[in-house]
């Protein structure tokens, strides 16, 4: 039985080279799946493939029992999948509030309630709502990026290395917020370099090596797996 949002047998990559070799990632609503692995393992590629940014040679992407493999990224966003890219994930020349409004571009209903919800989740954004997003600190930018993605009221949130380049304190704070988002029933997939911290909040973890699922299991299981610890978590 597939989970709420799942991919399977994904093979493909950029140009002729296959980065993904039969890999699959799944997540349920109200759960966090974390994808870790060494550099070049295809973590981000797997996530982009699930959003449709990469043409796969084979593999299926299923959302809520529906095959969405043929949809463009824009259509998948309209289906309720939100994506926070690793870089260039905010409109730096727009204000914080305008960033949130652009996240809700596809919505025609009143978005003020959602904006208020996001201000509640990230109070600093309310203080800075009229400031250009490009002028904010790294951690605040990530909050804008996550906030923008949440504006569509998505059922799936995919984060590509959300803690890259932010301080450890900000990282903990950000993970706390992500857990809060999870508790509202959103299915979350995170690709992370900070494997230990990420796995500790994960309901389910994937260790990708060479574009394959090398280890899968509950977050705590992976954290305690001696092989995983030795190879990826520094002992």
Partner 1 sequence: MENFDILNALILLANFVIVPAISYGSQLAIAALGITIVYAVLRFSNFAHGDLMSFGTMTAILFTWLFQNLGITGGVLPTALIALPFAIIVTALLCLLIDKSVYRFYRKQKSHAVVFMIVSVGVMFILNATVRFIIGPNDRTFFDGEKFLIRALDFKASTGLEEGLTIKSTQLITVIVAIITMLLLFYFLQKTKMGKAMRAYSNNEDLALLSGINPDRVVMITWIIVGALGTIAGVLYGLDKSFKPFTYFQLLLPMFAAAIVGGIGNPIGAVVGGYIIAFSEIMLTYAYKKFFIYLLPEHLEPSGLMQFLSTDYKFAISFIILVIVLIIRPTGVFRGKTI
Q: How far apart are CA 158 and CA 56, in angstroms?
A: 19
Q: Return the H-helix or E-strand segment holding 43.
A: helix 43-51
Shortest Cβ 144–partner 1 spacing (Å)? 11
Contact between 14 and partner 1 by CB under 8 A: the answer reads: no
Establish if 179 lies at the interface with partner 1 (CB under 8 A).
no
| Distance, CA of 220 to chain centre | 20
5 binds partner 1 (CB under 8 A): no
C-alpha distance from residue 202 to each of 21, 65, 130, 189, 226 (Å): 24, 23, 34, 9, 18
| Choices 22-30, 41-49, 63-71, 100-108; region in contact with partner 1 by CB under 8 A | 100-108
| Integer CA distances (angstroms), 234 to 85, 149, 160, 190, 214, in order | 27, 33, 22, 20, 17
Task: Find where tokens 């596809």 sit.
Answer: 106
Range in contact with partner 1 (rule: CB under 8 A) among 33-41, 42-50, 74-82, 159-167: 74-82
**Is there binding between residue 127 and partner 1 (CB under 8 A)?**
no
Three-state helix/strand/coil letters over 88-113: CCCCCCCEHHHHHHHHCCCCCCCCHH
Does 143 help bind partner 1 (rule: CB under 8 A)? Answer: no
SS3 assignment, position 207: strand
Contact by Cβ (8 Å): 56, 22: no
Q: Which residue in 14, 67, 102, 138 binds partner 1 (CB under 8 A)?
A: 102
Q: Which is nearer to partner 1, 140 or 194 (CB)?
A: 140
- Give whichever of 46 and 151 is closer to partner 1, judged by the CB atom: 151
For residue 10 the two structure tokens come to 């994904």
38 to 67, contacts with partner 1 by CB under 8 A?
none
Among 89, 140, 143, 194, binds partner 1 (CB under 8 A): 89
Q: Which stretch binds partner 1 (CB under 8 A): 31-39, 101-109, 116-124, 221-229?
A: 101-109
Q: Does 101 bind partner 1 (CB under 8 A)?
A: yes
Residue 105, interface with partner 1 (CB under 8 A)? yes
Burial category of 27 from C-beta neighbours within 10 Å (exposed 0-12, middle 13-18, buried 19 and up): buried
Specify the stretch interacting with partner 1 by CB under 8 A; choose among 9-17, 35-43, 98-106, 173-181: 98-106
Q: Which residues make up the interface to partner 1 (CB under 8 A)?
A: 73-74, 77-78, 83, 85, 88-94, 98, 101-103, 105-106, 148, 152
């Amino acid at each position: 039985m597939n989970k709420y949002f799942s991919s399977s047998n994904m093979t493909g990559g950029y140009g002729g080279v296959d980065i993904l070799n039969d890999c699959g990632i799944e997540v349920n609503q109200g759960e966090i799946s974390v994808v870790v692995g060494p550099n070049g393992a295809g973590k981000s590629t797997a996530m982009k493939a699930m959003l449709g940014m990469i043409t796969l040679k084979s593999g299926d992407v299923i959302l809520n029992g529906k095959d969405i493999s043929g949809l463009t990224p824009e259509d998948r966003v309209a289906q309720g999948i939100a994506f926070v890219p690793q870089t260039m994930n905010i409109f730096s020349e727009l204000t914080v509030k305008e960033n949130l409004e652009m996240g809700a571009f596809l919505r025609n209903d009143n978005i003020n309630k959602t904006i208020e919800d996001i201000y509640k989740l990230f109070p600093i954004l309310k203080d800075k709502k009229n400031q250009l997003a490009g002028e904010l600190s790294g951690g605040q930018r990530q909050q804008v990026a996550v906030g923008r993605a949440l504006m569509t009221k998505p059922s799936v949130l995919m984060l590509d290395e959300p803690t890259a380049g932010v301080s450890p304190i900000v990282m903990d704070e950000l993970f706390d917020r992500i857990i809060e988002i999870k508790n509202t029933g959103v299915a979350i997939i995170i690709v992370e370099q900070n494997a230990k911290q990420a796995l500790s909040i994960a309901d389910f973890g994937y260790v990708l090596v060479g574009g394959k699922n090398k280890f899968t299991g509950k977050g705590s299981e992976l954290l305690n797996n001696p092989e995983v610890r030795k190879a990826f978590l520094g002992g």
